A = this chain, B = another copy of it.
Amino acid sequence: MIMPMKVLEENLNKHVALLLKDNRVLDGVLTGYDDYMNMVLDDVEEAGEESTKKLGTVIVRGSNVVRIVPK
């Protein structure tokens, strides 16, 4: 068995896709996180319902996260 937080740790400095509750998807490099699943991503591209934009560094509040997909 592997702990969810351990999988986050294994993906540090790797590309992940974050799905948020508002259906936005953030693609970027996971550079940090904490116990609340607050996360820091670098080189982020955000895909919303209609468009995509580059955001650079992003801090995401954990309570908005649905799922994380390592890429």
Contact = CB atoms under 8 A, between A and B. Distances in A.
Given A37-B61, A58-B67, A12 B7 contact: no
A47 interface: no
A7 B61 contact: no
Interface residues of A, number: 39
Given A20-B66, A64-B66, A67-B64, A32 B58 contact: no
B57 A66 contact: no
A14 to B, nearest CB: 11
A20 to B, nearest CB: 7
A16 B54 CA distance: 15
Contact of A4 (B5, B40, B67): B40
